Amino acid sequence: MHILVIGGAGYIGSHAVKALLKAGHRVSVFDNLSTGLEVNYFKDAAYTVGDILDYPSLQKAMSQDVDAVIHLAAKKAVGESMENPEKYALNNIAGAINVLNAMSACGVKRLVFSSSAAVYGEPVYLPMDEKHPLNPMSFYGFTKYDMEKYFDWYDRLKGIKYVSLRYFNAVGYDEDGDVRGLEKNPQNLLPIVMETANGTREKMKIFGNDYPTRDGTCIRDYIHVTDLGSAHAAAIEYLKTAPESQIFNLGTSEGISVLEMVNKTEELIGRKINFEFAPRRPGDPAVITASAEKAGKILGWKAEHSTIENIILSTWQVYKR
């Protein structure tokens, strides 16, 4: 199939591109390179630099015999979304609506969307399955939640079948070193641990050590991006026969604490990581874990690269340079 990957030069997108090429698809990427990077380009994919807010160029990219779209282009900083909702409304909602409208105009009927665990908000039970109540606590989470509602309507009205993939904490790097782009000014835990290990930062903070968890620090469900990549390829396979639209969690159901991530990194790479305990970060639930049983049953997907060792070592391979 010919797959248009919007946001395919970014961190998760480029891992998805690799999985799609491996599965034998023809891949075209549309990316504005705001966070995507040329260093993530694959020689077997075709690249267009363009913005989803520029409807004519989006429609042009869509009009080239595209069989399916994977839409990953979005802003993703939770804190920023609360300070600057306008930016998130425009990029994540208006931009995604442009994608839907271009699909509709060009008769493209299959969509894979990058959603997030942020649609759930504070956990009511664990591990969280897809039926867990939706109560996003950030505007970022709301944009993902909102788009899933649009997809339902475009399914009903336009026959566009979608698979929404709710990622939990995306981490790791391609083990072959094919994706090397580093995020500028990262906000997430593992990149910050890595920047502390390689000397980019002097010290890091662990937000809160008084949570009701085994070591007092927050527990999250970390999923390797290579596993996310294969889930996109599996979602495309699923959409080939287009039975009905689906939403899937992608995680491991295993939790790793912040302190475990720091300690294990020190152990595996043999470097000291300077950290201090700091007050809790507002809005952080103590524990988040996913049930990805549904993706296992329907997509035949399971996490195969997401051990803590592989997560840390594949990331260090990129950060140590």
Catalytic residues: 140
Report the residue number, 258 or 292, with the smaller CB distance to ligand UFG.
Answer: 258
Shortest Cβ 47–ligand UFG spacing (Å): 25
The 10 Å Cβ neighbour count of residue 18 is 26
Residue 81 engages ligand UFG in binding (rule: CB under 6 A)? no
The 10 Å Cβ neighbour count of residue 20 is 26
* E strand or H helix at 249: strand 246-250
Q: Which amino acid is at 121?
A: G
Report the residue number, 192 or 225, with the smaller CB distance to ligand UFG.
Answer: 192
- Side-chain-facing half-sphere of 146: CA atoms under 13 Å: 17
Tell me the two tokens of residue 127.
């591990």
The 10 Å Cβ neighbour count of residue 142 is 22
Name, in order, each residue with C-beta under 8 angstroms of 268's C-beta and a sequence gap of 6 or more. Answer: 309, 312, 313, 316
Q: Which single residue is written with the structure tokens 């942020």?
A: 118
Binder to ligand UFG among 102, 192, 223, 250 (CB under 6 A)?
A: 192
Residue 143 engages ligand UFG in binding (rule: CB under 6 A)? no
Shortest Cβ 13–ligand UFG spacing (Å): 15
How distant, in Å, are the alpha carbons of 79, 113, 128, 153, 295 from that of 245?
A: 31, 11, 20, 11, 13
The region of 4-12, 186-194, 241-249, 292-300 touching ligand UFG under the rule CB under 6 A is 186-194
Report 250-309 residues binding ligand UFG (CB under 6 A): 258, 281, 284, 288
Report 13-72 residues binding ligand UFG (CB under 6 A): none
Report the residue number, 244 or 276, with the smaller CB distance to ligand UFG.
Answer: 276
Alpha helices, DSSP H only, in 72-159? 78-83, 85-88, 95-106, 139-158
Output DSSP code: residue 128.
Answer: B
The region of 83-91, 157-165, 204-212, 291-299 touching ligand UFG under the rule CB under 6 A is 204-212
Report 101-130 residues binding ligand UFG (CB under 6 A): 116-118
The region of 47-55, 83-91, 152-160, 183-191 touching ligand UFG under the rule CB under 6 A is 183-191
Shortest Cβ 80–ligand UFG spacing (Å): 11
The answer to whether the CB of 318 falls within 8 A of the CB of 182 is: yes
Shortest Cβ 218–ligand UFG spacing (Å): 3
Binder to ligand UFG among 204, 236, 292, 303 (CB under 6 A)?
A: 204
Name, in order, each residue with C-beta under 8 angstroms of 79's C-beta and a sequence gap of 6 or more. Answer: 187
Residue 74 engages ligand UFG in binding (rule: CB under 6 A)? no
- Cα separation, 143 vs 139, in Å, equals 6
Largest CA distance in the chain: 56
The region of 62-70, 181-189, 229-237, 297-305 touching ligand UFG under the rule CB under 6 A is 181-189
Please report, as ranges, the residues that interact with ligand UFG according to CB under 6 A: 76, 78, 116-118, 141, 169, 187-189, 192, 204-207, 218, 220, 258, 281, 284, 288
